[in-house]
Amino acid sequence: MNRRFLAPGDPAPWFTQRCTTPSGRYSFDMAAGRYNLLYFFPSAAGADIGERLEHLAGDPVFDGVRCQLFGVSADSDDELSGRLHAQPPGVRHFLDADRLVAGHYGVPAGGRGLVLVDPMLRIAAIADDEPSSVRQVLSFLRHLPDALAVQRQVPTPALMLPGVLEPALCEMLIRYFHGQASVQSAIFTEPEPGRSLPVTDIGFKSRRDCVLRDPALVAQLQHRVIHRIVPEISKYFQFQVTRMERMIVACYDAADHGCFGPHRDNTVTATAHRRFAVSINLNDDFEGGGLSFPEIGPARYTAPLGGATVFSCSVLHAVAPVTRGCRYACLPFLHDAPGAARA
Ligand SMILES: O=C(O)CCC(=O)C(=O)O
Ligand SMILES: [Fe+2]
């Protein structure tokens, strides 16, 4: 391992690489919110490496919730021979014959080693592939409750702004939703660089959206965002918003297991211009549906009726399943003129 390349405390490089996932690819930014151990090796055909992989993959500490293991193989034969297989939810392997991941992490050709990445996707430790370092890393991961307790006290970098929309306007927006056709809300994937593709995956995102086409309602919503949210973003984050998009009313319904898995809002080409996400709750007679920021901590936030949660589009966030009733929300994204020029 080239220890001068990256050091503990540095951000772990993000990448998208071929992987033993059902889609055949994995974007490492999605791994946030738990510890991730990357094990770099030249080929799983080496007897000692095969043993090490088996030893690591068999450790119950890699439960996919608090820890994940990613083997990073430099050998294209590892894939062809079927030597590497995922053991979901905690163990997957990157197929890195083109050395994309190894290059980002400074692992030389033929090199092997361990990189432990923390829930915020920062380097926690770098170690050689030696029995003593493997023991140390596993022992650290087994004692995670202590490390995660510290993480629980961390404040979330989001604004909570009560009273952005009046109750009567919230009611009108919910009524509008029920008077229109709604569609199953999609997520973007990027099967190849530069080509963003909307797909539905109701296990990951279950929500119905209805585009606001009533000019008077759009104007009322825009007015509140401009006068009640934009100045707060300017004050707290020193960013001048001049553009707004996605005027929708969305509904997460307990009957449909309404939810949205962990994601970022600006990681594909079509969304790269987005800067701030706004989540305004239009009702409060539901259970579940809390917004969380898994790479920061486990806390869930529910804005009051008419209140907004505002956060940076590049922060990982998720919506917990709605367990009773429906959660209605307006969810605009904000950006600026340079962003609009790129969109
Ligand atoms: O429902 C929410 O509060 C957040 C929605 C969200 O993250 C999104 O639409 O990208
Ligand atoms: Fe989002």
83 — pLDDT class (breaks 50, 70, 90): confident
Pair 257, 133 in one domain? no
The predicted pLDDT at position 308 comes to 98
Mean pLDDT of 151-180: 93
- Which of residues 152, 182, 209 is at a domain's end? 152
Pair 236, 295 in one domain? yes
Taking only the tens place, the pLDDT of each residue in 236-256 is 999 999 999 999 999 999 999
CATH number, domain with residue 92: 3.40.30.10
Pair 204, 241 in one domain? yes
> How many domains, the chain?
2
Ligand 1: residue whose CA is nearest its atom 3: 279
**Distance from the alpha carbon of residue 279 to the mean position of ligand 1, in angstroms:** 6
**Distance from the alpha carbon of residue 319 to the mean position of ligand 1, in angstroms:** 7
Residue 329: CB within 6 Å of ligand 1?
Answer: yes
Residue 265: CB within 6 Å of ligand 1?
Answer: yes
Residue 63 lies in a domain: yes
The closest alpha carbon to 30, from 141, 125, 119, belongs to 119
User: What is the CB neighbour count within 10 angstroms for residue 56?
Assistant: 19
Higher pLDDT, 231 or 148: 231
Residue 3 lies in a domain: no
Taking only the tens place, the pLDDT of each residue in 100-140 is 999 999 999 999 999 999 999 999 999 999 999 999 999 99
HSE, CB side, 13 Å, CA atoms: give it for residue 199. 11
152 — pLDDT class (breaks 50, 70, 90): low
Look at the alpha carbons of 113, 90, 26, 311 in this order and tell me if their dihedral is positive or negative. negative
| Contact of 318 with 327, CB cutoff 8 Å | no
Residue 205: CB within 6 Å of ligand 1?
Answer: no
- Which of residues 119, 152, 185 is at a domain's end? 152
Residue 268: domain span: 158-342
197, containing H or E segment? strand 195-199
The predicted pLDDT at position 306 comes to 98
Mean pLDDT of 158-166: 97
Residue 317: CB within 6 Å of ligand 1?
Answer: yes
Pair 184, 148 in one domain? no
Residue 310: CB within 6 Å of ligand 1?
Answer: no
Pair 117, 31 in one domain? yes
Taking only the tens place, the pLDDT of each residue in 213-226 is 999 999 999 999 99
Q: Which residues, in sequence order, are bridge partners of residue 310?
A: 159, 278
> What whole-number distance in Å separates Cα of residue 156 and Cα of residue 315?
10
